[in-house]
Chains A and B, each alone.
Chain A
Amino acid sequence: MINTDINAWYDAIAKKAGVSRDNAKEVLDRNSVKPIIRPAVPQRVRILSLRFTGKKAGILNDEIDFEWKDLGPGLHAIVSDSNFRGKTTLLRFMQLGLVGRSSLAKDMERWFDTMTLQFSVDNDVFETRIEDFHAQRGTLVQLKNSREFVVSAFQDATSFEATMETFFFDKLGLNATRIVINQKGKDVAQDHGWLWLSSVLAIDPNPENIFGDSPTGIGGMETYLMRMFIGLPWVGTHTTIKAAIKGIGIQDERAGQAAARSQSAARQRLSELEEEREKVGKRLAGPDRVEAVVSRERAAIHRLAAVSAEIHALTRRHADLTSDLSAAEEAITHAVRERHGFDEAQQAGAVFRLLRPEYCPSCDEVFTEGLREERQQHHDCIVCGRKEPQDEEDLTGVREALVEREDDAKSQLSKLKGTQKKLEGDLKTKKAEREDLETELNNLQKEITASEAPTVAWQEALKLDARIEEIRRLTGGEAPTQSDDLKVLNAADTVTTSFFADEQKAILADVAIEATKFARSFGMIMLESIEFQGTRMKLRKAGGQQYFGDCQPGERKRLKIATVLAMLRVSEARGVGRHPGLLFIDSPRTDETVDDNVSEIVKGLAALSDEMPYVQVFVTSLAVPAVLEHVSFDNVRKSRTDEWMW
Chain B
Amino acid sequence: MARDYKRDAIRLLFLLNAGKAANHDEDMVGAYPHVFGGEKRLQAMDFWIRYPDYLALELISQHEKSGDIAKLEIARAIYDDGEPSLRTIPMLRKHFGAYEPLDTALAILECRGLVRPERRKTAVGHSHFFFLTKKTEEFCNEVAKEFPLLDWYRARALLVVEVAGPRRGNELKTVQHSTRQYHDTAIMNYIPTITDLVKSKLDRFGNPA
Contact = CB atoms under 8 A, between A and B. Distances in A.
Given A337-B88, A348-B6, 8 more contacts: A333-B85, A344-B149, A344-B150, A345-B6, A348-B7, A351-B143, A352-B9, A360-B111
Contacts of B143: 351
B171 interface: no
Nearest to A345: B4
Contacts of B7: 341, 344-345, 348
A355 B114 contact: yes
A337 B86 contact: yes
Interface in A172-202: none
B30 interface: no
Contact of A351 (B10, B107, B184, B190): B10
A358 interface: yes
A351 B147 contact: yes
A349 B1 CA distance: 15
A349 B111 CA distance: 15
A361 B110 contact: yes
Interface of B: 1, 4, 6-7, 9-10, 85-86, 88, 106-108, 110-114, 139, 142-143, 147, 149-150, 184-186, 189-190, 192-193, 195-196
Interface of A: 81, 333, 336-338, 340-345, 347-352, 354-362, 383, 592-594, 623-626, 628
Given A348-B10, A592-B196, A628-B186, A343 B149 contact: yes
Contacts of A338: 1
A171 B51 CA distance: 56
B6 A352 contact: yes
Contacts of B113: 355, 358-359
Given A345-B4, A357-B112, A350 B147 contact: yes
Contacts of B107: 361-362
Contacts of A349: 6
A625 B150 contact: no
Contacts of A354: 142
Contacts of A336: 85-86
29 contacts: A81-B190, A333-B85, A333-B86, A336-B85, A336-B86, A337-B85, A341-B1, A341-B4, A341-B7, A344-B10, A344-B150, A345-B6, A347-B147, A347-B150, A348-B9, A351-B6, A351-B10, A351-B143, A351-B150, A352-B9, A354-B142, A355-B112, A358-B112, A361-B110, A362-B107, A383-B111, A592-B193, A623-B189, A624-B192
B108 A352 contact: yes
Contacts of B9: 348, 352
Contacts of B193: 592
Nearest to A329: B85
B1 A625 contact: no
A362 to B, nearest CB: 8
Contact of B112 (A81, A352, A592, A628): A352
Contact of B111 (A81, A347, A357, A624): A357
A592 B195 contact: yes
Contacts of A348: 4, 6-7, 9-10, 150
A359 B115 CA distance: 12
Nearest to A336: B86
A341 B142 CA distance: 21
Contacts of A356: 112
A348 B144 CA distance: 11
Contacts of A623: 189
Nearest to A81: B190
A355 B139 contact: yes
Contacts of B196: 592-593
A443 to B, nearest CB: 42
A636 B149 CA distance: 43
A359 to B, nearest CB: 7
Contacts of B86: 333, 336-337, 340
A354 to B, nearest CB: 8
B195 A342 contact: no
B111 A361 contact: yes
Most buried by A among B112, B139, B193: B112
Contacts of A592: 192-193, 195-196
Contacts of A333: 85-86
A594 B106 CA distance: 36
Nearest to A341: B1
A341 B184 CA distance: 28
B78 to A, nearest CB: 15
Nearest to A346: B149
Contacts of A355: 112-114, 139
A436 B97 CA distance: 57
Contacts of A357: 111-112
B149 A342 contact: no
A296 B28 CA distance: 97
Contacts of A359: 111, 113
B70 to A, nearest CB: 27
Contacts of A593: 196
Contacts of B142: 354
In the A-B complex, the 3 residue pairs with the closest CB atoms: A348-B6, A361-B110, A345-B4
Contacts of B112: 352, 355-358
A395 to B, nearest CB: 12
A629 to B, nearest CB: 8
A345 to B, nearest CB: 4
B189 to A, nearest CB: 8
B53 to A, nearest CB: 10
A349 B106 CA distance: 15
Nearest to A622: B192
A442 to B, nearest CB: 39
A424 B209 CA distance: 33
Contacts of A81: 190
Contacts of B114: 355
A48 B98 CA distance: 39
A220 B197 CA distance: 44
Contacts of A594: 192
A336 to B, nearest CB: 6
A333 B83 CA distance: 10
A360 to B, nearest CB: 7
Most buried by A among B111, B186, B195: B111
B29 to A, nearest CB: 19
Nearest to B195: A592
A352 B190 CA distance: 29
Contacts of B190: 81
Contacts of A337: 85-86, 88
